[in-house]
Structure 1
């Protein structure tokens, strides 16, 4: 099955985007957030689905097990800005969510988030992943997803990633923007992919503390077990095998779930160039990442 590309990259208010995520921009900007909503905000391929699933299980794993078994995660936790032909928009799915709280995800840079989220003082869970692994994962995702512009080969994509010429723009701007936002908007909980890999239970504890949840030891154990990578990879309601736009033969949506896989992709020259570029773009940031654990 050939992947047919319908979307190209264009400059959207200073950020590279594709129409799949900007088509109904006015509707997105006018979205009515509620005070009990929870927004999961990430750069693409930073562990978004992982954290969406953790939250979904914490809130609804016991009360609505039938949802877990019958509704794909991208409908239980819709992406606010997504707009694919002949499918309900992410905004419509979010509006129609029957759950309380509504779990909504976005990959938008903080300055594009609809103002009602800030006005309603919505809690935001923000997930970060080190730039090198993030770039590799994003490349493989773009290869298999017809909703994304053609990524080219790895060296082309890596250069574009460094220059911010990928959908949702510069990784550096994105993570720094969200990191700094907490100084003026305290209801943000930052999570790191690498920490989740290292100690999932501890990170779930911290998340529960932020959300004011107190699951039993058994419940926490069950959630921690269900969100292990291999279990998620087998779960048809979580692994995006129901998505029409993704060709899992090219690359599975859930590929490796590891820290440090970038070493299998970067050449020595690419690594040195990337480090130099990274140092420049992150020199004023207090954000610290680990590219191995």
Structure 2
């Protein structure tokens, strides 16, 4: 079975397992943060507290719906061009029980591409001790919120929301999977000048994908040709990936790839909601390095 077929089979098993599960049981809380019960469990979280990173690991860190699948696909294409390494059949997040099992069995060869949505303070200490390089991806908070809302409602493994107005206050207070966007952003903002961290934004990747591919490959010390950069950018555009998502993600394509637009938040937010996020951004990130990189005044002002 090839990786795509295995990925489809894994997803089907997950969705079959939650068909008769109550909405309340679709999520669980660990150390005060909500997680999806279909793909995470307490045993896995306990395991990753003692996770052993390797110096040659390549780590992607992102808050949910900031372009995770897009960025991980680009990273696999870069590594594939350099090492001919094949992508796994499931998202390589260390907190996902399916992928964590293969990591425990030590069946993943180096360089391992790993990912996580975990808060900075919940990432296993060995990643910092080994000075593992981390690509950190963020997206403006308003588009992130809208994408997260649709992800909840398009994903049978998650409880749905009746309306956007019901979802918005939960997003703002961090009562969503993996916790508060602003808590994640505030934590990473303190570490952006470290040599082991490269921050990319969804918006900059949309604007200049070739340049983003170059930055990522150079950051991880992987020299690839200009022709390879062009090929990765062409096949790595959100438009291309969405158009081909039927092949890569089958019936589940709509769960992972929706619009990928910048500014779609304007079709959901009320003026009051927009001002509430503006105030939160001002409180947490205005005048900071991450605040500047997010180009908030360009992408988030009404």
Common topology (TM > 0.5): yes
- 2:11 corresponds to: none
**One of 269, 275, 278 as aligned partner of 2:278:** 275
Q: TM-score scaled by structure 2? A: 0.81
Cα deviation digits, residues 160-202 of structure 1 (max 9, x gap): 101111011110010121221345x530111111100010111
Q: Secondary structure at the match of 1:223?
A: helix
**One of 51, 56, 74 as aligned partner of 1:31:** 51
CA distance in 2, matches of 1:181, 1:62: 28
- 1:50 corresponds to: 70
On the 8 A contact 1:78/1:104 being kept in 2, the answer is: yes
**One of 134, 137, 140 as aligned partner of 1:130:** 140
On the 8 A contact 2:134/2:198 being kept in 1, the answer is: yes
CA distance in 1, matches of 2:263, 2:248: 22
- 1:207 corresponds to: 216
Q: Secondary structure at the match of 1:30?
A: coil
Cα deviation digits, residues 119-171 of structure 1 (max 9, x gap): 21111110010000000111111112233343442111111101111011110
RMSD: 2.6
CA distance in 1, matches of 2:217, 2:188: 21
Q: TM-score scaled by structure 1? A: 0.83
1:126-205 aligned within 5 A:
126-183=136-193, 185-205=194-214
- 2:26 corresponds to: 7
- 1:86 corresponds to: none
On the 8 A contact 1:9/1:149 being kept in 2, the answer is: no
Q: Which runs of 5+ in 1 are unaligned?
A: 84-88
Residue correspondences, number: 274
Structure 1 position 26, deviation (Å) = 1.4
